[in-house]
């Protein structure tokens, strides 16, 4: 088993040369995303704006929104 952990990647390699053997690996990963709540809020706001614009266009052009 080989592990390579760098700032931008996590790599694992398992080499199984045995016959009739199963190997499994479980990994618990915790991601830290700086400013995630702010970015999530901005995306939600942008999606709301796009829906509102689509609804208003529907009303203006006779589509149900």
pLDDT in tens, 9-64: 878 887 778 788 877 778 888 888 899 889 999 999 999 999 998 888 877 777 65
Helix (H, G, I), strand (E, B) or coil at 4: strand
In the numeric block, the tokens 């796009």 are attached to: 50
- Of 4, 7, 23, nearest to 15 by C-alpha is 23
**pTM exceeds 0.85 for this model:** no
**DSSP 8-state code for residue 10:** E
- pLDDT number for residue 64: 53
> Greater confidence, 30 or 65?
30
- Residue 18 tokens read as 């045995």
């Amino acid at each position: 088993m080989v592990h390579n952990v760098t700032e931008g990647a996590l790599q694992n390699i398992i080499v199984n040369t045995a016959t009739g053997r199963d190997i499994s690996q479980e990994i618990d990963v915790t991601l830290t995303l700086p400013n995630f709540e702010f970015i999530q809020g901005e995306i939600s706001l942008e999606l709301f704006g796009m829906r509102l614009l689509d609804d208003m266009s529907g009303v203006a052009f006779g589509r149900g929104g």
